[in-house]
A and B are shown apart, each in its own frame.
Chain A
Amino acid sequence: MKVQDVQSLVEHVTGFLEGVPEHDAAAARTLCEALEEIGEILDGDSQGSDRTKVRKATVLCEQIFGGGSADPGADWAWVRATCAALAKVVVDGVAFEDAGYPGANEQKCPPTPLEAVGNPYFDAEIFMEFLDRQTEELGDLEAAILGLEGGEPDVGYLMRVFHTLKGEAALLGIDDLSKVAHAAEDMLTSEPTIDCVGRLLEVKDWLGRRFRQLAGQGPAPESADDVVAGLEATASAPNDGSAPSSDKASVEPESSGPRREVMRVDASRLDLLIENIGELVIAEAMVSQSVSQRDDVSLELAKNVDRLDKICRELQEIGLSLRMIPVRPVFRKMNRLVHDLALKSGREINFIVQGEDTELDRSVVEQISDPLVHLLRNAVDHGIEKDSIARLNTGKDMVGTISLTAYHRGGNIVIEVEDDGRGLSSDAILAEAIKKGLVTEGQVLTDSEIQHLIFAPGFSTVSTVTDVSGRGVGMDVVISSIEKLRGSIEIESSPGRRCLFRIILPLTLAIIDGMVVKVGAEQYIVPTLSVVRLVRPRQDDVTTVRNRGEMLRFEEELIPLFRLERLFDIEGARREFDESVVVVVESDNRRIGLFADDLEGQQQIVIKSLGKTIQGTPGLAGGAIMSDGNVAVILDIAGLVKVAHKEDYVRADHGALENQRGD
């Protein structure tokens, strides 16, 4: 009986609505009463979802009737659509999900901002796109803000960003965003002062928080009114004249060129594509090799194979570039970091960034941020002298300079962090290392060895711990992250003048430069990054230590010598010294020699896992597919070095060896 009641009521409502195309107060009132009745009947019903919709429609009708609706037209449309859907459910028996309630897609992420409910122009897709784009824009925005302080103010760009934001936010009904953007624009129109950099950075941070909130990923930031008030205060503050001259002419909108289209792709699909390109290249190489070995090849076939070869090579290049992104986003973050640190520590610092467009593998870019943060913190806090008079006295510029540079060198990317501050004091480091028991007194170390001591965990020569740095945790983080990226770090320092950290990284994690060595009939790959030198040993360079192992004299140092043949049980390897080759490798500043038959050359190698069952075998880093399609095993140098030193015939017998030599 109830069901019939609802059905007839809903049918009545639908018929009524057909006669009232536009909203008006009287119609809304009638509808409101009818909906209330429907709602009451539905109250006892189990279909709570329908009930919620009806309740909301009732409220909207009430508002339209009472004049409380901000946009009666849109609300009316919503009520109409709800009634139509309700009719489908109640009369036609359609399921709630399929009825097409207008608000059914309301729950689509991101949640609709409250301000936009009832806004007829609101469109979830446009909103989403707006959020994505604006969030991305923030990086550029920050760089431009910091640019006001440096030599190249681009006020025009900033004005455009805020102007666009203002317009779009207003369209979407997110009023506080447009208010803030408007205030920021106002402030930029009046002469920008030095103050405005800090203020704009606050605005940028606020925008970031607000965007995250809108995307449903964060709490609400403070009220927009505070931000606006701050902006207005700065805008009306008297100009102290030290402002960067803003070029009014550049405020004119200029076309920023066509936007680069970007597509998000699942990373695993990308990897699969790259893997298959690699295979294609190998297969192609095999085909062209067998073609070139035949005598009866027609000109046409040769030509076609040649063409295939070119396409494959191009494909390979594209494949490799797919994962590459510029280091720019990370460098931008560093820009901000140095700016904030300099303010906090009361130093004046000129921060120079170069080579932002240098590209490297996405995963490397993501992981390089941590070590850079530590290095830059150290540069600001320990490197640059706090006392600018002291700087002047030593003949340096009052303002400290820190530079962050990226560039390609060979198959690697190099990132340098340099400061013109105090430099590293070898004496202080050595003293601290002795105190910590890392070095015994009287031990002779090279400058480079001393400098590398700073990477030991907990090492710090700074007596005062500031909230920026000095706890001694930073540098071992640096070295471990860089080793994880298969990179290395060099230090150049002249006390009192400068200090430079040079991080050398492979372009990607998947590809390394490898030296192919031959032992017996087998091929092994030594990552070139760990190779110190190749030597042809003479018999008298090699000493046997109590019949336990061999040591090689290399650069006035005795290093353990590993015969790969023995280590890996390889048959048919050479034994004689004068025909063989020793690859001296280094990891964690310790060296060992690897004794092999011959060097077959150097090539770029794609690292593959050996498969879950045998991956993790000590001394082996993975496999690589060679140009003939076969697999070669890549040596894990760090693992081998550890094994060498664990079997400790190095440290224990070091003294004994020294004595032998002395005899």
Chain B
Amino acid sequence: MSLKTRAAPIAKAGKYLSFNLGGETYGLEILKVQEINGITDVTRVPRTPDYVLGVINLRGRVIPVIDLRAKFGMESVENTDRTCIIVVQMDREDGKATVGIVVDEVSEVLTISEDQITAAPEFGDAVDADFIIGMGKLGHEVVILLDIQKVLTGEETMVLSGLETEQ
């Protein structure tokens, strides 16, 4: 009907942690990042969505780990010694949640100024771009800026509650 207007909050200028996923460069707000660890053994948790890789032991706390490749519909690859788990903090209604996300490779911390950020383009129905809050243009490189909160909550909670009703 009407044109989808993407009035999603545009990314703010500031520091972003950039990482590599399937040849593309993504950026995460640095304030949400708690730490970066090398990939370790992940325990599979049954009856969870595919992109939930499982859980790991983070110094005595059990945290879920999300496979960002699966989440973005990319094909899975073998882990390398560059595969990392980025531990992020998310705000939830019931407090903070700590989640790990698996990425191919962590690159660097980028400082992105306001004039380097443009709104996320329309991809049509092919790409669910709800969690893209902007594109950062640094020279000839393009960084896709993610709202990690949107990546990890919304749909996921839906799937989980779906599981429960299935029972």
> With an 8 A cutoff between CB atoms, is A494 at the interface?
no
Say whether B55 contacts A567, CB under 8 Å: no
B57, B61, B156, B163: the one contacting A613 at CB < 8 Å is B156
Measured CB to CB, the closest approach of chain B to A643, in angstroms, equals: 6
Say whether B60 contacts A612, CB under 8 Å: no
In chain A, positions 278-329 with a C-beta closer than 8 Å to chain B are 278-279
Q: Which residues of B contact A251 (CB under 8 A)?
A: none
Say whether A568 contacts B60, CB under 8 Å: no
Say whether B62 contacts A569, CB under 8 Å: no
> With an 8 A cutoff between CB atoms, is A576 at the interface?
no
Q: Which residues of A contact B56 (CB under 8 A)?
A: 631
Q: Which residue of A lies closest to B156 (CB)?
A: A613
| A614 and B48 contact, Cβ closer than 8 Å, known pairs A623-B62, A625-B62, A631-B43 | yes
Task: Report how far A483 CA is from B67 CA in the complex, Å.
Answer: 36
Task: Report how far A623 CA is from B58 CA in the complex, Å.
Answer: 12
A617, A622, A625: the one contacting B160 at CB < 8 Å is A617
Say whether A610 contacts B163, CB under 8 Å: no
> With an 8 A cutoff between CB atoms, is B13 at the interface?
no
| A633 and B97 contact, Cβ closer than 8 Å, known pairs A610-B64, A613-B64 | no
> With an 8 A cutoff between CB atoms, is A630 at the interface?
yes
> With an 8 A cutoff between CB atoms, is A570 at the interface?
yes
Measured CB to CB, the closest approach of chain B to A481, in angstroms, equals: 24
Q: Which residue of B lies closest to A522 (CB)?
A: B44
In chain A, positions 250-286 with a C-beta closer than 8 Å to chain B are 275-276, 278-279
Q: Which residues of A contact B54 (CB under 8 A)?
A: 631
Size category of the binding interface on chain A = 20 to 34
* Number of chain B residues close to chain A: CB under 8 A: 31
| A616 and B160 contact, Cβ closer than 8 Å, known pairs A611-B97, A623-B55, A631-B55 | yes
Q: Which residue of B lies closest to A642 (CB)?
A: B167
Task: Report how far A630 CA is from B65 CA in the complex, Å.
Answer: 13
Q: Which residues of A contact B57 (CB under 8 A)?
A: 625, 629-631
Q: Which residues of A contact B167 (CB under 8 A)?
A: 618, 643, 646
Q: Which residues of A contact B94 (CB under 8 A)?
A: 612
> With an 8 A cutoff between CB atoms, is B33 at the interface?
no
In chain A, positions 548-582 with a C-beta closer than 8 Å to chain B are 567-570
Say whether B62 contacts A609, CB under 8 Å: yes
> With an 8 A cutoff between CB atoms, is B99 at the interface?
yes
A570, A611, A617, A646: the one contacting B163 at CB < 8 Å is A617
Measured CB to CB, the closest approach of chain A to B49, in angstroms, equals: 9
Measured CB to CB, the closest approach of chain B to A519, in angstroms, equals: 10
Say whether A619 contacts B60, CB under 8 Å: no
B48, B52, B59, B95: the one contacting A612 at CB < 8 Å is B95
Say whether A610 contacts B55, CB under 8 Å: yes
Q: Which residue of B lies closest to A639 (CB)?
A: B167
Most buried by A among B46, B160, B164: B46
> With an 8 A cutoff between CB atoms, is B75 at the interface?
no
Say whether B43 contacts A617, CB under 8 Å: no
Q: How many A-B residue pairs have CB under 8 A?
A: 89
Task: Report how far A616 CA is from B167 CA in the complex, Å.
Answer: 13
> With an 8 A cutoff between CB atoms, is A620 at the interface?
yes
Task: Report how far A622 CA is from B157 CA in the complex, Å.
Answer: 18
Task: Report how far A377 CA is from B56 CA in the complex, Å.
Answer: 47
> With an 8 A cutoff between CB atoms, is A632 at the interface?
yes
Q: Which residues of A contact B45 (CB under 8 A)?
A: 610, 614, 617, 620, 623, 633
Q: Which residues of B contact A633 (CB under 8 A)?
A: 43, 45-46, 55
Say whether B92 contacts A612, CB under 8 Å: yes
> With an 8 A cutoff between CB atoms, is A608 at the interface?
yes
A278, A567, A568, A611: the one contacting B64 at CB < 8 Å is A611
Task: Report how far A616 CA is from B99 CA in the complex, Å.
Answer: 16
Measured CB to CB, the closest approach of chain B to A570, in angstroms, equals: 7
Measured CB to CB, the closest approach of chain A to B98, in angstroms, equals: 7
Quick one: CB contact mask for B123-167 with A, threshold 8 Å, 1 for yes? 000000000000000000000000000001000110010011001
Q: Which residue of A lies closest to B55 (CB)?
A: A631
Say whether B99 contacts A611, CB under 8 Å: yes
Q: Which residue of B lies closest to A624 (CB)?
A: B62
Measured CB to CB, the closest approach of chain A to B167, in angstroms, equals: 5
Task: Report how far A570 CA is from B54 CA in the complex, Å.
Answer: 13
In chain B, positions 23-41 with a C-beta closer than 8 Å to chain A are 41
Quick one: CB contact mask for A626-663 with B, threshold 8 Å, 1 for yes? 00011111000000000100100000000000000000
Q: Which residue of B lies closest to A272 (CB)?
A: B60
Measured CB to CB, the closest approach of chain A to B163, in angstroms, equals: 7
Q: Which residues of B contact A568 (CB under 8 A)?
A: 46-47
Q: Which residues of B contact A616 (CB under 8 A)?
A: 160, 164
Measured CB to CB, the closest approach of chain A to B155, in angstroms, equals: 12
Task: Report how far A522 CA is from B152 CA in the complex, Å.
Answer: 26
B43, B47, B92, B95: the one contacting A618 at CB < 8 Å is B47
Q: Which 9 A-B pairs have the closest CB atoms?
A: A568-B46, A623-B62, A279-B60, A631-B43, A608-B62, A275-B60, A612-B97, A611-B64, A631-B55
> Taking beta carbons and an 8 Å cutoff, which residues of A are in contact with B?
275-276, 278-279, 522, 567-570, 608-614, 616-620, 622-623, 625, 629-633, 643, 646
Q: List 12 A-B contacts (CB under 8 A).
A: A275-B61, A610-B64, A611-B62, A611-B63, A612-B92, A613-B97, A613-B152, A614-B48, A619-B47, A632-B43, A633-B43, A633-B46
